[in-house]
Structure 1
Amino acid sequence: MSVGNTGTDSVAGQETGGAAGDVTAPVFSAGAVPSTPADGADHVGSRLNAGRASTQAGESERQLVDERVTPTGEAAGVQSSRPSDIVIIAAARTPQGKLNGQLSTLTAPQLGAAAISGAFLQASIDASLVDAVLIGHVLSAGVGQNAGRQAALAAGIPASAHVASINKVCLSGLTAVIDAARLLKTGDAQLVVAAGMESMSQAPHLLAGSRKGWAYGSVEALDHMAHDGLTDAASGQSMGLLTEQHNTSLGITREAQDAVAARSHQRAAAAEDAGLFDAEIVAVDVPVRRSDPVRVTRDEGIRPSTTAESLAGLRAAFAADGTITAGNASPISDGASAVVLTTRAFADAHGYDVLAVVGAAGQVAGPDASLQSQPSRAIARACEKQGIAASTLDHIEINEAFAAVVVQSQAELGVSDEVVNPHGGAIALGHPIGASGARVVVHAVHELARRGGGTAAVALCGGGGQGDALILTH
């Protein structure tokens, strides 16, 4: 689908590297609903099947990654299949771009439409069957009325489907998935799209108070991204400074954070080289004035050469003696992710394969605005509801808003490095805030399918001191 004519800085202000590659992927170009993949690209469903089995190409890289991912079979919580099971039948995402990078000319609805359309192609889903769409989206100023509905219509979803945009800051995309499952459980829908989208590059600067005018003095433009996405409304502090302050009280070291960040880049690079993102990524053709479109197929922020030693040389970003740097905080990014949910009965009736079963959700908040423990608390709650222990999980995704969040939550869960973010996380891949919650679901779903089974937990922290988690099984 055409998505329109219209270095990634981290939250801490560092530009990161990365470039679009040339890998086989379904392609979307600006202004029309996608039909078939271009330039000999395989249908997404074919790539999905290929992604579930090892191939000779890249076998050494796959072995590097696979040695961490053998399911234990202990994270049961897996019951015999029932017609009422809430299941995911498709999951896709765009590449994630840098601030003012290769996706920066596309609006959030254009990115959202590309991800949704890619999910439809993946499982040959008839868009006319969609009853409802829930889309996480945070930076809505200037995007137009109900940005989620814009994305839905652009993806070919009928006007009869009701659409809501969700703003729960970084949790938005995962909350969309959780609430979509609730719609299905209550019988209010049979087929629901849950997605997340964000163009942080296009977040405008605002002139607050301009409607009444000013009598005298200078006028300051308000940064929509910083004010509405990256600043705690209650305290007025940036998420970086707030996290830095809690790092001190929790005793989280610079070395531990840099180790998480280096691991994120190295694992993401290995996973990319092994083709482990191929089944989930939708290639996007970005129009270029007076030139051929640029095809973006890979995440821009991955830096394979990143090491703990190179990160150690960066200065603190939020406090002179602080531990958070541009290298161990997530980058400012553009991107979108989408999953399609239904009941097992509906999937069976329409011939859709089940990628994953949606399990228990955990949603927590407080007691303060800190972020570090929110994912672990949310996972613990979800595991309790699922009737399993965190120690039995085969795969855990903890969004790397800040490396400190992974350090603290992993320690509280008592799980190993090998289980958490085995293919990297937001520090390497990017963190488009409205989309990241859906992205971790997309990746976990494909990873469970590739392994042939297992149980995963995905979790994020969110501005204001909240956390969401979801259990997925295959």
Structure 2
Amino acid sequence: MIAITPKVSIVSAKRLPIGKIHGMYSEESPEELFASLVRRQLADLTAYDNKQVDQIVLGNVTNQGGNLARRCALTAGFGVEKPAYTIDSQCASGLVAIASGVQAIMSGQATMVLAGGVESTSLANQVIDRQTKNVMSRFPMVPNNQLDLDMGIVAENMSQKYHISRKQQDLYAYHSQLKAIKASGQHLETSEIYPYIKNGTIYEQDQCIRKDTTLEKLGQIKPAFKAGGLVTAGNSCPINDGAAAVLLKNFEAGEDVQGYYLGHELVGVKPEEFLLGPIAATRQLLKKQSLSISEIDVVEMNEAFAVQGILCQEALGLRDEQINPLGGALAYGHPYGATGGILIARLLHSLNRIHRPALGIVTLCVAGGMGMSVLIANKHCDSKLEC
């Protein structure tokens, strides 16, 4: 049991269904995705409205330029006097945006912040390399004098270094799919989702869950990154579109909220071992909070690759039922800048199904060599309770 000292309240954490690239959101701008979500979210919060939000902070990776968060805020109907800014910290963009909102509240710069992220990989602009004149597949992750490995190659190298077999990776991916299939069948994820409505059509299901997944089918998928490799489209997360929004406010005891922010850690690791980022970030977070992993009820870890999930679960000593109980990104997908907010929403809805004070962690690896972890308490933890 630990004494809980909430720093910032999480009033509401919601997301849209996650779409495939060139899937159900193929024609939808990131501004409209975000606006659709936030209009519904604020309409359901009768005690709050957009006039009380002091600033908007959003993560985004692929829709570069023009301060997307500002465009999203104006599209969603926030007043012109409300500042907004965009953060690109790769896979951690959404979590860093949420942490930035927390810091603005704790410093006294704001009372209420809307944070999260949005991603439209379907509508991402192509970027031309100035020197080669070729379309860039991605931006550099390290300086020119360092080895800039594709993320899939890093996953291959880590598979070899730590002797993680193809069978182990496919089995991990299979279990992630099974958890997501079960959650979807029991409608456990619906409490975190607002459907997207367009021209009378209602989109309310995550698009990437493969309900016909079998180990045999996973074993038949060809390697994605090198001949004879171990990493495939089946044991890697897909590319996606999506949006998530987390409404944060200064802590006041006795309020009706979804949960509480308690702390976070953002750390650096070797770029060629970025998949280990969640290990370093989570260990540092637990140490600073004087916690052990056994005191954490749920860990939502973004599954960039199955090999990452395997390595992190083993190193942190996570039980199968403790990690990603509703399935992970191998099943749902990873809409980069939106993922941090998505994981916060999923974690809180899982924690609040526990009818007692409970703690959870959101963690992810970050391309370029970082890891980030956030400690969250459910709605039953406040200044008068222990977890």
TM surpasses 0.5: yes
Q: Does 1:90 align with 2:12?
A: yes
Matching residue of 1:415? 318
8 Å CA contact 2:268–2:277 kept in 1: the answer is: yes
d(CA) in 2 for partners of 1:188, 1:369: 37
Q: Does 1:277 align with 2:210?
A: no
Q: Unpaired segments of 5 or more residues in structure 1? A: 1-75, 211-218, 287-291
Kindly report the root-mean-square deviation, in angstroms, between the aligned alpha carbons of the 2 structures. 1.9
Q: Does 1:227 align with 2:138?
A: yes
**Per-residue deviation, 1:469:** 0.5
Alpha carbons of 1:202 and 1:274: their partners in 2 closer, same or farther (altered >3 Å)?
Answer: same
**Per-residue deviation, 1:129:** 0.4
d(CA) in 2 for partners of 1:389, 1:337: 29
Residue deviations 1:309-361, cap 9 Å, x none? 3211111111222110010000010001110011222x85xxx5121111121
Q: Does 1:248 align with 2:170?
A: no
Matching residue of 2:40? 118
Residue range with higher mean Cα deviation, 459-468 or 233-242 = 233-242
**Per-residue deviation, 1:183:** 1.1
Alpha carbons of 1:121 and 1:279: their partners in 2 closer, same or farther (altered >3 Å)?
Answer: farther
Q: Does 1:454 align with 2:363?
A: no
Matching residue of 1:132? 55
Equivalent residue in structure 1 for 2:80, among 134, 155, 159: 159
8 Å CA contact 2:63–2:125 kept in 1: the answer is: no
Partner SS, residue 447 of structure 1: helix
8 Å CA contact 2:63–2:121 kept in 1: the answer is: no
Q: Unpaired segments of 5 or more residues in structure 2? A: 379-387
Alpha carbons of 1:303 and 1:396: their partners in 2 closer, same or farther (altered >3 Å)?
Answer: same
8 Å CA contact 1:77–1:386 kept in 2: the answer is: no
Q: Does 1:299 align with 2:202?
A: no
d(CA) in 1 for partners of 2:110, 2:233: 43
8 Å CA contact 2:58–2:115 kept in 1: the answer is: yes
Matching residue of 2:376? 472
Equivalent residue in structure 1 for 2:224, among 301, 308, 317: 317
**Per-residue deviation, 1:87:** 1.0
Equivalent residue in structure 1 for 2:285, among 382, 385, 390: 382
Which amino acid counterpart does residue 264 of structure 1 have in structure 2?
Answer: S
d(CA) in 2 for partners of 1:444, 1:121: 22
d(CA) in 1 for partners of 2:149, 2:307: 17
Residue deviations 1:264-297, cap 9 Å, x none? 11111111111111111111123xxxxx443211
Alpha carbons of 1:116 and 1:382: their partners in 2 closer, same or farther (altered >3 Å)?
Answer: farther
Q: Does 1:369 align with 2:272?
A: yes
d(CA) in 1 for partners of 2:190, 2:299: 20
**Per-residue deviation, 1:429:** 0.7
8 Å CA contact 2:142–2:271 kept in 1: the answer is: no
Equivalent residue in structure 1 for 2:341, among 434, 438, 444: 438
d(CA) in 1 for partners of 2:190, 2:56: 25
Which amino acid counterpart does residue 97 of structure 2 have in structure 1?
Answer: A
Larger radius of gyration: 1
Seq. identity, %: 31
**Per-residue deviation, 1:246:** 2.2
In the superposition, the TM-score normalised over structure 1's length comes to: 0.75
Partner SS, residue 295 of structure 1: strand
**Per-residue deviation, 1:78:** 4.4
**Per-residue deviation, 1:253:** 1.8
Aligned pair count? Answer: 373
8 Å CA contact 1:87–1:342 kept in 2: the answer is: yes
**Per-residue deviation, 1:109:** 1.9
Partner SS, residue 371 of structure 1: helix
8 Å CA contact 1:266–1:303 kept in 2: the answer is: no
d(CA) in 1 for partners of 2:135, 2:53: 38
Equivalent residue in structure 1 for 2:112, among 183, 188, 191: 191
